[in-house]
Amino acid sequence: MINLVLYQPDIPQNLGACLRLSACMGCTVHVVEPCGFPLDDKKLKRAALDYFHLARLVRHRSWEAFLTYRTAHPGRLLLLETDGSAPYTRFTYAPTDYIMLGRETAGTPRDLYTVMDATLAIPMRQGARSLNVAMAAGMLVAETCRQFDWRFAPA
């Protein structure tokens, strides 16, 4: 199943919602640190509530550590951002894809765009700035599940 990559998340509740998404839908959540909040096991378990034991979480201490991880676990690196070039529903996903979502307060640094295989966007009404990270992640995971004919990864 798909990999969600949260780049230096700022809001613990969004991470908790993404962990719940992982538990229910089978995606893996990768957290690229540093985070905008203390990230310890107690806070992670609290954010994910009773879904923590079902979630798939991989922590990376830095962007460089994540890139090293990907050398052993290859897959396309896709960026979901408000200025992405392709609508997320018109892209064909693979189970090994890594879909990165930027920081809630600052988005994704421009220099990271150069390592992406594609940039995606969720079309929105004119004048709307952005969706909540967890909501955008949910929409994207639902689209990948639809494309995979709702076949879920084993628990």
- Tell me what pLDDT residue 149 has: 86
- Tell me what pLDDT residue 41 has: 62
The superfamily CATH assigns to domain 3-147 is SPOUT methyltransferase, trefoil knot domain (3.40.1280.10)
Cis peptide before 34 (omega within 30 of 0): yes
- Displacement of CA 103 from its chain's centroid (Å): 11
Q: Mean pLDDT, consecutive 10-residue segments, the chain of 155 residues? A: 94 90 94 88 67 90 97 96 94 97 91 96 90 94 92 62
Nearest to 153 by CA among 50, 31, 3: 3
- Tell me what pLDDT residue 43 has: 65
- Tell me what pLDDT residue 38 has: 82
What residue segments make up the domains of the chain, in order of their start? 3-147
pTM above 0.85, yes or no: yes
Contact 60, 66 (CB under 8 A): yes
- Tell me what pLDDT residue 53 has: 84
